[in-house]
Amino acid sequence: MKVTLSRFTYGGDCVGSLPDGRAVFVPDTLPGETVEIELIEEKRSYARGRALEILDPSPSRVQPFCHHFGACGGCHYQHMGYADQLAAKKLVLKDQFAHIAGIVDPPVEDVIPAPQTVHYRNSMQFHVDCGGKVGFRARASNTIIPVTECFLPVLPIQEIWPQFHFRPAAFERRFEVRCGTHDEIMLVPDGDADNFPELKEFQAALLADRNFVSMTVLEKAFRVSSGSFFQVNIPVAEAIIRHLQQSLPFSEEMQLLDLYSGVGLFSRFFAAQTARTAAVELSASACSDYAINLADFPQAVCHQGSAEKILPRLRMNFDQVIVDPPRAGLMKRVLETLIRMGPQRIAYVSCDPSTLARDVRRLLAAGYQLDRITPFDMFPHTYHVETVVLLSRKIPDDQIGVDLI
């Protein structure tokens, strides 16, 4: 079956139309290409296909540099040049804000490129199949694909992970490798460490039995424990910090809320400019790291617990809010509480355009105005994009509604 693809969609596929009018989503293709496909999934309103042959290739098509591309689920955009990847991410982001947030011609800025497009990840999650082979999840599948090369991890991880060999087991396993700024390695098993006797041997051989690493961002060192989240691409994280420093006005009388604070990445750069900084973080490990990372700032306090429980208890009038939620975005109760608090400005950092657009729609309906949409390429060669949205309140507190759609 021949199909001509029209545009990218969030998730890395291109979409075209079947003869019966249904949309068909096909990975590893580019807009404008005519492709011979086979259907692998059919629903009433759409279908999914697999490209069998590129009949009319796009001028933007390039040869992927990793021979696992297409089978491995880690990358989605290696078949086009980097400038085209950035353009695709911008178009997809605009599409999400138009269709989900209801914004006509969304003012999405050009994607800020990554300084490094390979060997940029300081953290990698590896899977071990029942045969003991190390790999990643396959594209759109839970199957583990053994791999012999990967161009995403920083070089210290790249140099050691091919040395990992595991004995067969009755179940699949997973572990994480983290690399600190000074090339210190931390190996973290997912689940019971007794399932990974070999990992203990590697930890001893690599002196990697530590439970934290140090990450340096704009000359500030952060303790990051094994159970704590941290950005995987330090240069792009630094670009986001600079962007916020240039965009958010602070004064020593202001109160800042750092929602989903992690180990205190944002608090560390802004607490000194505030009278009080309140952080909210679910992870006990991250809260412990926060206390160490913000030890020189007594005005910064991390409240450990879920945002929906902690946020209503905070009796503070926040001027600025920085929110960096999980991929699922803000829970309805959290968003309602945030709107009731009525901060003057909100900086929303997100790795998921669809949930970001959903929450922005609700904030606009509650009386906020959209100031900027700035995407950052935190994850080159994937469809993922990190986006910073800046909003400001445009009506008085007593006129803000909280009736969310």
Torsion from C-alpha of 341, 282, 124, 9, nearest 10 degrees: -40
Alpha-carbon distance of 356 to 388, in angstroms, equals 9
Contacts of 43 (CB under 8 A, 6+ apart): none
Asked whether the beta carbons of 329 and 358 are under 8 A apart, the reply is yes
Structural element, H or E, at residue 212 = strand 212-217
Q: Can 351 be counted among the known catalytic residues?
A: yes
Alpha-carbon distance of 246 to 261, in angstroms, equals 20
Alpha-carbon distance of 252 to 244, in angstroms, equals 17
Structural element, H or E, at residue 145 = strand 144-146
Catalytic pick among 72, 150, 179, 351: 351
Torsion from C-alpha of 8, 14, 18, 23, nearest 10 degrees: -60
Nearest to 383 by CA among 32, 40, 95, 53: 95
The response to whether 85 counts as a known ligand-binding position is no
Q: Hey, is 226 helix, strand or coil? A: coil
Task: Please report how the helices 353-365 and 82-99 are oriented relative to each other, as an axis angle in degrees rounded to 10.
Answer: 40
Contacts of 140 (CB under 8 A, 6+ apart): 27, 73
The response to whether 159 counts as a known ligand-binding position is no
The response to whether 10 counts as a known ligand-binding position is no
Q: Compute the chain's Rg from CA coordinates.
A: 23
Backbone angles phi, psi at 108, to 5 degrees: -80, 125
The first and second tokens of residue 108, run together, are 């999405």
Pairing of strands 345-350, 386-393: antiparallel
Alpha-carbon distance of 166 to 163, in angstroms, equals 10
Task: Match 């950052």 to its residue by tokens.
Answer: 376
Detail the residues annotated as belonging to a binding site for S-adenosyl-L-methionine. Answer: 231, 260, 281, 324
Detail the residues annotated as belonging to a binding site. Answer: 231, 260, 281, 324
Q: Which residues are catalytic?
A: 351
